[in-house]
Structure 1
Amino acid sequence: MAKKPKEYKCKICSNYYVKTVSSLQKVCSPKCAIALSKAQSRKKREMLEKQERLATNQRMKALKEKLKSKGELTSEAQSAVNKYIRLRDENKPCISCGRPLVKEQFGGGFDAGHFRSRGSAPHLRFYTLNIAGQCKKCNRWGGGMYDQFRIGLVERLGAEKVEAIESDQRPRHYREDDLRRIKQIFAKKARMLEKRRKG
């Protein structure tokens, strides 16, 4: 008794057929072959269009990044540093008043306060030893609470380091690429801290 030929399911109409044209045959009839060809062409076109959209988006993103002003880049770098400081100092006491720094508290958590302010010492704006978690009351409404900030910083870092921060007048000239790198470095550090806490 002859063996019954193997049947395959048509990719288009789902009817069963026996391969008669070639071992690569995927459909049961010329009509389904045309439909399959159209479907594959449409799928290929959609894939190419998606790739083109992604490439265009990447070009636009790169152009927007290139056109950013130094002020915008400085602001983005500062935001990345501040986010890292808030993650680093979460659940520690406020550097000035000792109140626990809780991320989810009323009023949106706490700030990354600068011991030497960005206005008086812009060269230390990204220096992490000059920045500490500070409650909003002390940072915003208490004018930074400089004297209490200093006491808290001496307790954390020691008098020698605090004096070094106070006397640091070395100029730092940040180019656009430096600011982008600072943003990238501190965004990565923040992600690592978040990952460590979740894991």
Structure 2
Amino acid sequence: MAKCKICKDKFEPKYFLQKACFNPACLAAWAKKDREVKADKVHAIKKRSMKDNDKPLRNREAQKAFNAFIRARDSALPCVSCGRFHTGKYDAGHYRSRGAFPELRFNELNCHKQCSPCNTQLSGNIANYRPIL
């Protein structure tokens, strides 16, 4: 004999692992409870994955917006490292790198318009960057 999880009456289960008796009210209550438990599990999984993946996504979006702001702010200025104007691509070059100093990632005083060759090929061209600061 098994005990109904809803009304606590004893009953003879017809199916293996049957949790509720054959009373229609108990079966409906058990089905509703089972759906809620499954929905809670799915919600917890989605929430956990959103929590895990949300911070890097927000950082990337914030970095794109910040870099666009720096390029717009310094649009009339030359490259901070080499001092030349050219038609190539400009980056938002950080004096103290984002990897070594993550707390300075969005600091406006640490970031200036820099031509792509100075920023990528010359690793920021720090020797010429320093005197301009």
Same fold at TM > 0.5:
yes
Output one character per residue of 1:148-192: Cα deviation in whole Å (capped at 9) or x when no partner.
111122xxxxxxxxxxxxxxxxxxxxxxxxxxxxxxxxxxxxxxx
The ranges of structure 1 where at least 4 consecutive aligned residues each deviate by more than 4 angstroms after the TM superposition are none
Identity of aligned residues (%): 45
What's the TM-score once normalised by structure 1's chain length? 0.40
Alpha-carbon separation, structure 1, partners of 2:109 and 2:115: 17
Alpha-carbon separation, structure 1, partners of 2:97 and 2:129: 12
Output one character per residue of 1:72-112: Cα deviation in whole Å (capped at 9) or x when no partner.
11111111110000001113111100012x6xx24xx2000
Q: Does 1:131 align with 2:93?
A: no
For 1:70, give the aligned amino acid: K
Counterpart of 1:142 in structure 2 is 122
Alpha-carbon separation, structure 2, partners of 1:98 and 1:137: 12
- Give the number of the structure whose residues are more often helix, by fraction: 1
For 1:133, give the aligned amino acid: K
Q: Does 1:116 align with 2:129?
A: no
| Matched position secondary structure for 2:72 | helix
Q: Does 1:84 align with 2:64?
A: no
Alpha-carbon separation, structure 2, partners of 1:81 and 1:142: 22
| Matched position secondary structure for 2:114 | strand
Structural mapping, 1:13-162, within 5 Å: 67=50, 68-100=53-85, 105-106=87-88, 109-153=89-133
Alpha-carbon separation, structure 1, partners of 2:119 and 2:128: 11
| Matched position secondary structure for 1:69 | helix
Aligned residue pairs total: 84
Alpha-carbon separation, structure 1, partners of 2:59 and 2:111: 16
What's the TM-score once normalised by structure 2's chain length? 0.58
Question: Which 5+ residue runs of structure 2 have no aligned equivalent?
Answer: 1-45
